[in-house]
Amino acid sequence: MTIATQSDMLAPMTTQAHAYHYLQASALTDDVKPRLQLATSGADDKAVVAHPHFFEGLLKQPRLSAELLTALHIIVGSRFFTPANTLAKNLMLADPVVTSGGGILRFEGFSSCCSAYVRVDMLPDSYEGDIVGKGTTNVDFNAPMRAALSRVRDAAGLALSVGQDAFTLHAGGNSVVEKKVELPLRWIRGMLEVQSYQAGMRKIVEVSGAEALRFLRSLPKASTSKTPLWISHGPFGLRTTTRPEPNSMRLVDSTRLRVLEALLPRVKSMAIFADEAQQASAWVLQFAGARLTLALSAEVWRGFSGEGQALRALMNMQDANALPRLRAHLQWQSTLQAPALAQQLDLSQASIEDSLRILGVSGLLGFDVTEGSYFHRVLPLDLSMAEDLHPRLAAARELIKDNAVAIINKQPLEATVQSADIQHRVREVDGELRCTCPWYAKHQGLRGPCKHVLAVEAMTEN
C-alpha cells in the first residue's frame, strides 16, 4: 500500500521511498502457549542479514511487556499536530525499529508528526532466553497484533520471537507482507536529530510511580499546544505553572504524555530529563527489567528536525580522523562511553565525543538518556543523504567557498560574513558567538548556530 504524505507537511517536501518486506505479519499465536511472533524486515543491502533473527525466549512479565509494546505502537501511530489544510489522518509512516545488542532488545518509534520519540528497552532481567543475533531492522507492528496484546495475561505466560530461525523460515506457510511508504525528509531528520537532543539532557527530577500518576492525571485533558506549561517539583510533588521557575521544565501539549498513564501503576520510578535550553524533554519510566523513554519536542509543530544540534560536529567532520576509527569499532554495543573509547582508541575524549555526536545524527547510534551513553544502532533507512538534511551546513560551506568570511579579530573573535548584499557581523560575547542575521536574532542560538557562525567557526578551526 502506498501512502501519500505530500499533503501532510506545512511546506512543500521531498520524501524518501522506503519499503518493508516481511515474510509474514507479526502475530500473537496461541498454539501451545501464547507466543508473540514479531516479523523482522528484509534488507536491500546484501551485506546485511535478511529478516534477521534476534531473540527466542520467554518474557518474565508478559502483561507489562504487552503494555510497553502497545504504548510504542500508540505513539508510532499518533499525530499530535496536523498542519492547516491537510488531512487529519493518522498515517503509520514507519514501522518501529528493533535493535539487538549487548543483551538488550530495544524497540524505537517516532510519531508521524515528528514530535514524540519512544523507545522500549527490554533489559536482560526482563526475559529468559537467548539473544541469538545482533543488529537493527524494522519490525512489523499491526493492528490485529496490538489488539491481541490486550489479551495477554501474566498467568498464561508469553513467549517472544523476534525474527525466525532459518528452519522455520524455510518451513513454508509464510504469507509475505510488503509495505511501501514515502518517508518525509522532516520525519527522517527528526529521527536522526533526536539523539542529539537526548545527549544534551540532564535529569531534572525523579519521582515515584504514584506521584507520577497523580501528576499526569492533573494535566489538562485537552491539547495545550498553544500554551506552554512549566513543570517543577515542590513539597507537594510535581506541579505545573504558566511561568518559568528555577529548575522548572517547559512542556507543550501534555496530551503526548497520556500514553504513559496506563503504565504508571506498575512503574518503579519516573525520571524527567530536559536540556538546558528547554528545547526538548525525556520522560523515562523505570520498571523491573524494562524501561520506556518518551522524548518530546519543544513544540508539537516543530518536531525534532532542523534544529542544528550537531551542526558544529558535522562541520568539522572532514577533519576528524577519529570518526572512521570509531565507526570501525562499533559492534552493536549497548553502551558507548567516551572516556573508555578514548582510552581504547588512543584518541582525545573531545574527538570521541564529537564523533559520537556525528554518528548519532547520521543514524548510526542511538542515545540512552538514562545510561547517559550512546548505543550502536543503524537506522534501517537510506542514510546516504543524511548530510543533505542540514541545509545550514551546506550554506556555511558555500560561504567559505565564496571567501565570504573575513576574520577581523581573534581574541575575542570577531568576523564579517558577506551574505548576498548584506554584511553580517559575528562577535564573540561571553564565550558565545552572536550574529546579526534574522535567524540568530529570532532563535538566539537555541536552535543551533546560523550558517554565518558555522562558517566563522570553521574558518577559525582551520
Partner 1 sequence: MAEQKIEAAFVAATPLEEFIVAGNYQGMMAYLQAQDKAQWQQHRARVLRMNKAMEKSRYTSDMSMSAWRSKVTDEQWHCLRAAIFLCGNADDVAENCWHYLYQPAELIELWKKYQPASTENLALTLISQRPLAFRIVQSLLINDLIERPTHENYLLGLMSQEMRSDLVPDVAYWIKHDPDLLQGPLLQLFDIEGTTDISFAGRDKYTHNPDNTWQKLFLNLCQQGVYRREVLLDKTLSALEKDWIQFRSGWFSRFHDALAPTVEEMSAFSDRYLGLCHSRIAPTVSMALKVLGTLRATNAISDTSLLTALQPLLSSAVKAQVDAALKLLDQMIKQDASLAPEAASVAVFGLLHEAADMQKKIITRLDKWGMEAATQEQARQLLPHVATSNREALSALLITDATDGSARAVTDTIQQLPSLQAPPSPISNTRALPVINTIDDLIQACAHAFENHTDTDCFETVFEALLRLAPFSAEAKKQFGPVLKRARKMKPVADNWHHLDKPLARELARLLAFMFEQERLPAERQFAKGHFDVHSVICQRTDDLMEILMQGKSVSPLAAATHQRGYINPAILIKRARDQHASGLQQPLQEQVLSLLRLAPSNDPALRQQAASLPDTPYHHALRYALGSQVSIAAKGKDSALYIAAARARYPDEDDTNLIQLYGDFGPDGAHAARYRFDIEARESEYTTFYDTYLSVTPAPRPIDPVYLSILRHPRDEKSDGKIWRGQDFSGGNESQIL
Site residues, partner 1 (CB under 8 A) = 1-2, 4, 63, 67, 70, 74, 87-90, 143-144, 146-148, 150-155, 208, 210-211, 213-214, 217, 234-236, 261-262, 265, 421-425, 427, 434, 436-438, 440-442, 444
As measured in angstroms, the least distance from the Cβ of 238 to partner 1 is 12
Among residues 194 and 213, whose Cβ is nearest to partner 1?
A: 213
As measured in angstroms, the least distance from the Cβ of 203 to partner 1 is 21
Q: Which residues contact 146 (CB under 8 A, 6 or more apart)?
A: 69, 70, 73
Q: Which residues contact 190 (CB under 8 A, 6 or more apart)?
A: 110, 114, 117, 297, 303, 304, 305
d(CA 228, CA 250): 7
As measured in angstroms, the least distance from the Cβ of 180 to partner 1 is 13
Question: What cell numbers appear for 244 in the block?
Answer: 518559568
Among residues 129 and 289, whose Cβ is nearest to partner 1?
A: 289
What distance lies between CA 252 and its chain's CA centroid? 18
Among residues 289 and 445, whose Cβ is nearest to partner 1?
A: 445
As measured in angstroms, the least distance from the Cβ of 172 to partner 1 is 25
What are residue 358's phi and psi, to 5 degrees?
A: -65, -45
Q: Which residues contact 63 (CB under 8 A, 6 or more apart)?
A: 152, 153, 154
Among residues 87 and 171, whose Cβ is nearest to partner 1?
A: 87
Among residues 343 and 423, whose Cβ is nearest to partner 1?
A: 423
As measured in angstroms, the least distance from the Cβ of 196 to partner 1 is 24
Among residues 314 and 437, whose Cβ is nearest to partner 1?
A: 437
As measured in angstroms, the least distance from the Cβ of 30 to partner 1 is 9
As measured in angstroms, the least distance from the Cβ of 427 to partner 1 is 6
Q: Which of 109, 117, 434, 108 is nearest to 305 (CA)?
A: 117
Among residues 202 and 217, whose Cβ is nearest to partner 1?
A: 217
Q: Which of 312, 307, 302, 284 is nearest to 461 (CA)?
A: 312
User: What does the chain come to in residues?
Assistant: 462
